[in-house]
Structure 1
Amino acid sequence: MPEIVKRKKALSVSPLKASSTVGAALAFLGFNRAIPMLHGSQGCSAFGKILFVRHFREPIPLQTTAIDQVSAIMGSQEMVVEGLKTICEKNAPDLIGVPTTGLTETQGADIQMAVRAFRQTCPQFDAIPVVAVSTPDFTGSMESGYAEATRAIIEALVPTAQEAGTQPGRRRRQVNVLAGSFLTPGDLEHLKDLIELFGLRPVVLPDLSDSLDGHLPETDYSPLTIGGALVSELATLGDALATLVIGASMDAPADALKSRTGVPDHRFNHLMGLDAVDRLIATLADIAAVPVPAKIERQRAQLQDAMVDCHFMLGMSRFAIAADPDLLVGLTQMLAGLGAETVAAVSPINAPVLAQAVCEEVKIGDLEDLELAARARGAEVLITNSHGAQTSQRLGIPLLRAGFPQYDLVGGYQRTWIGYQGTRATLFDLANLILTQEKGEIHPYRSPLKQWPANERTGDIKHAA
């Protein structure tokens, strides 16, 4: 169990975290025909939208109440009402999410009261769901905001078993999936494929693999999300056979779903590494009551072979990691399975799951803390988001980009990290980074007295001289 070293600095130097407001907006973007409306200034939305656009390289539907200095002091409830009314009139979405920002939370705005005022003022839009969630960007991180928005959606839109008359197991093939924010669209697509191989039908919440997977739609530009989980399917969650919960950060949404529907759940902190994926596959086999498909058994054998191939490079290697808690724990446990050592670990927030990280200590801090620890402890590879590119250059070690945002390369959002295949690809990438450092390599000795071919002789003579 690592020691958790809490933050003592009065400021962040090279900040690591993305705000909880951004995380909440991302959760709403995982639903079909939805749009988040951030309650704050235009700048609050602009910075988040820039990160989304650069990471996913897609148009991102995002609105804002755009409060100014006057409304920030005198009150901004009317702007929430007017913003919701405008969106409903122009776009008629299936879901509107209203996360707050640090400005309105500091002001003391009551977002739930503002939504009630909208309902009283505009009853003609009662059929359009509006989910408000408190996500000040000075508290938590992207991971916690994403989980809080998912919990709010469940509590607002998933009916109880008594209200809807649902019964666990009525839909014999349906499996609910609560997906943590650290899962990429590529991860979710791979996870759905694994579930379908067992003859089951996954309903993923939120489903970024369908809305932000980077596909060209047949329709023209839409001001709402294209693809994602259907809001109408939220009423069927109580009939599912089971619920898979991926990420410890999703425990609160999972508790809310289980209390409302009674559907049994199976919880996984992550799906990286042989042991974690084995547990998932065994669980799916039990739920579906079928043997493990031969295709999955072959994928497992391929991962085992990759572990044999890569342990020469990764064994005893030293890594520095900075990420949100769920991803950080998954990476440290996966590396420990290969005999690698995490010598520096930094998380932007504290969370109970960090106690399961495989390292001596976890620092609650920023990228400056990671850089200092990595340099002092001789890290050989850095793993973090694109904000760590300059840190990598200063340390003189390679960087594997993981987490959000990844804005200085193409396709990072679609990378698969989980499952046998995702773990295998990650091991290959890490092993190749180690090889670029020529760690432990002994170069052949070339005598300056030996006659070499003409194209090499001049260089050897100069070297000998």
Structure 2
Amino acid sequence: MAHVVDIKKACAVNPLKMSQPLGASLAFLGLDACMPVMHGSQGCTSFGLVLLVRHFKEAIPLQTTAMNEVTSILGGYDNIEAALLNIRKRAAPHIIAICSTGLTETKGDDVEGYLVTIRKRHPELADTEIVYASTPDYVGGFEDGYRVAVTAIVRTLVKPLPRQTDQVTLLPGSHLSPADITELREIIEAFGLSVIVLPDVSGSLDGHIPPDWRGTTLGGTSLQDIRAAGASALTLAVGEQTREAALALQDIAGTPFEMFDRLTGLEVNDRFLQCLSQLSGRPVPAKYRRQRSQLLDAMLDGHFYTGGIKVAMAAEPDLLLAVGSLLHEMGAELRCCVSTTKSASHALLPAPTVILGDLEDLERGAADCDLIVTHSHGRQAAERLDKPLLRIGFPVFDRVGNAHRCLVGYRGTMALIFEVANLMIDQIKHHHADDWPLSPEALRAAAPVATPTPTGLAVASA
């Protein structure tokens, strides 16, 4: 169990944390025909929009209530009313999803009360669902905003329905990419089960050319599917951040749930497939047995370069746990771990300490490490320290293909192992540039030395 240390600084230096409204916006972008709206100033929305566009390399529908100095003091009712009417008229979304910002939360806008009044005054809005999430950006982080938004979607739109024994609901965490969700959907459907993904960014942010343009999200979980989630036989929740929404589904529709703190690794995917096998009454398909064997071989091949290395990581809690646990299982030492907000995930992390801090704290702790793991804002620290950087999380704006990067399941775990091992090989090459390529004997000498473990799998030691 990691000991959590909250660094109390006057200001963040090279911030690690993304805001709650941004996390909520990502959740809303996973709904089909939806228009996410930030209730705040235009600047709040603009900064979030830039980060989303740079990460996904896609057009992002995101609106604002455009609060100014006067309305920030007098209240934002008129701005919300005008935004709802304009969005309905111009884009005709099925869902308008509003998240608050620090500006309006500080003022104390009663948005839920505003929405009741607006619906009474404008019956034409009856055909548009409105979801509201309270996400002040002066507390919490990206994961918290996503958590609050998914829970708000469930509590606002899901109703109890007769049970469908072959249907499950998948609640993916904000750390899962569109490719991750696609992989999990394929695994679930391989057992003959139908799945409702809530929210589903694999339909809206998977990097495709849309057949039309509506001004809203194109793809994602439809309003019909959201409502149908009340009929699922089981909820599969991935990441501690989805626990609250899973509990809400249980309260509303009586749906039991299974929590998976991560799906990157061997044992956790074994448990995931066993759960699906028991639910469906079908054996694990042969292709996943083959993938498991391939993953074991990948772990054997990769541990020569990951065993004994010292790692500095900075990420949101669930992503920190997923990647950090795999590296630990591959023989790495989690020397420095920095996160953004408090979470039950920290108790499961195989590290002595988790710092709630910024990228300055990461850089200080990474001086004697072999690998840095964080998002693109950590690239300067990696350059200064001359360390390899594994880019994970949000945002990653200096690489393309983020939507298609898979880190879950047997295949995704194997891909991550190869990525880390290849980074370490490149680092060896960097420090032996004059006599590269090394002979196999010299390469083995430059890498950490592997020693047998009681399980039979060799683990490298420093």
What is the SS of the residue equivalent to 1:173?
strand
Larger radius of gyration: 1
Q: For residue 234 of structure 1, report the CA deviation from its aligned partner.
A: 2.1
Q: Whole-Å Cα distance in 1 between the matches of residues 286 and 258 of structure 2?
A: 23
Q: Whole-Å Cα distance in 1 between the matches of residues 211 and 90 of structure 2?
A: 21
The one-letter code matched in structure 1 to 2:260 is: F
What is the SS of the residue equivalent to 1:245?
strand
Alignment-derived partner of residue 157 in structure 1: 157
Q: Which runs of 5+ in 2 are unaligned?
A: 436-462
1:329 aligns with 2:324: no
Written as runs of structure 1 = structure 2, the 5 A alignment for 1:11-410 is: 11-159=11-159, 161=160, 166-168=161-163, 171-219=164-212, 221-375=213-367, 378-410=368-400
Would the alpha carbon gap of residues 271 and 444 (structure 1) be closer, same or farther in structure 2, given more than 3 Å must change? same
Q: 2:141, 2:341 within 8 Å by CA — same for their partners in 1?
A: yes
The one-letter code matched in structure 1 to 2:183 is: H
Aligned residues: 436
Q: For residue 238 of structure 1, report the CA deviation from its aligned partner.
A: 2.3
What is the SS of the residue equivalent to 2:245?
helix
Q: For residue 439 of structure 1, report the CA deviation from its aligned partner.
A: 8.3
Q: For residue 54 of structure 1, report the CA deviation from its aligned partner.
A: 0.5
Runs of 4+ in 1 over 6 A off after TM superposition: 439-445
The one-letter code matched in structure 2 to 1:322 is: A
Q: For residue 440 of structure 1, report the CA deviation from its aligned partner.
A: 12
In the superposition, the TM-score normalised over structure 1's length comes to 0.91
Alignment-derived partner of residue 5 in structure 1: 5
What is the SS of the residue equivalent to 2:127?
coil
For residues 247-285 of structure 1, what are the alpha-carbon distances to aligned partners after superposition, in whole Å with 9 as ceiling and x for unaligned? 011111111011111111111011011011111111111
Q: 2:33, 2:93 within 8 Å by CA — same for their partners in 1?
A: yes
Q: Whole-Å Cα distance in 2 between the matches of residues 4 and 239 of structure 1?
A: 39
Q: Whole-Å Cα distance in 2 between the matches of residues 27 and 216 of structure 1?
A: 21
For residues 72-116 of structure 1, what are the alpha-carbon distances to aligned partners after superposition, in whole Å with 9 as ceiling and x for unaligned? 112211110111011112222111001001111111111111211
For residues 114-155 of structure 1, what are the alpha-carbon distances to aligned partners after superposition, in whole Å with 9 as ceiling and x for unaligned? 211211221121121101111011111111101101101111
Would the alpha carbon gap of residues 298 and 441 (structure 1) be closer, same or farther in structure 2, given more than 3 Å must change? farther
Q: Calculate the aligned-residue CA RMSD, in Å.
A: 1.7
Q: Whole-Å Cα distance in 1 between the matches of residues 133 and 227 of structure 2?
A: 20
Q: 1:99, 1:132 within 8 Å by CA — same for their partners in 2?
A: yes
Among all aligned residue pairs of Structure 1 and Structure 2, give the percentage whose two residues are the same amino acid: 42
Q: Whole-Å Cα distance in 2 between the matches of residues 109 and 269 of structure 1?
A: 35
Q: 1:111, 1:133 within 8 Å by CA — same for their partners in 2?
A: no
Q: Whole-Å Cα distance in 2 between the matches of residues 372 and 97 of structure 1?
A: 40
Q: Whole-Å Cα distance in 1 between the matches of residues 105 and 430 of structure 2?
A: 54
Would the alpha carbon gap of residues 440 and 210 (structure 1) be closer, same or farther in structure 2, given more than 3 Å must change? closer
Q: Whole-Å Cα distance in 2 between the matches of residues 114 and 406 of structure 1?
A: 37
For residues 380-415 of structure 1, what are the alpha-carbon distances to aligned partners after superposition, in whole Å with 9 as ceiling and x for unaligned? 111111111111101110111100001011012321
Q: Whole-Å Cα distance in 2 between the matches of residues 346 and 247 of structure 1?
A: 18
Would the alpha carbon gap of residues 206 and 444 (structure 1) be closer, same or farther in structure 2, given more than 3 Å must change? closer
The one-letter code matched in structure 2 to 1:300 is: R
What is the SS of the residue equivalent to 1:255?
helix
Q: For residue 442 of structure 1, report the CA deviation from its aligned partner.
A: 8.9
The one-letter code matched in structure 2 to 1:108 is: G
Q: For residue 53 of structure 1, report the CA deviation from its aligned partner.
A: 0.5
Answer with 202-211 or 105-114: which moved more.
105-114
For residues 328-370 of structure 1, what are the alpha-carbon distances to aligned partners after superposition, in whole Å with 9 as ceiling and x for unaligned? 0111211111111110100011112211111110000000001
What is the SS of the residue equivalent to 1:437?
helix
Q: 2:91, 2:214 within 8 Å by CA — same for their partners in 1?
A: no
What is the SS of the residue equivalent to 2:377?
helix
Q: Which runs of 5+ in 1 are unaligned?
A: 446-465
Answer with 112-121 or 363-372: which moved more.
112-121
Alignment-derived partner of residue 411 in structure 2: 421
What is the SS of the residue equivalent to 1:345?
strand
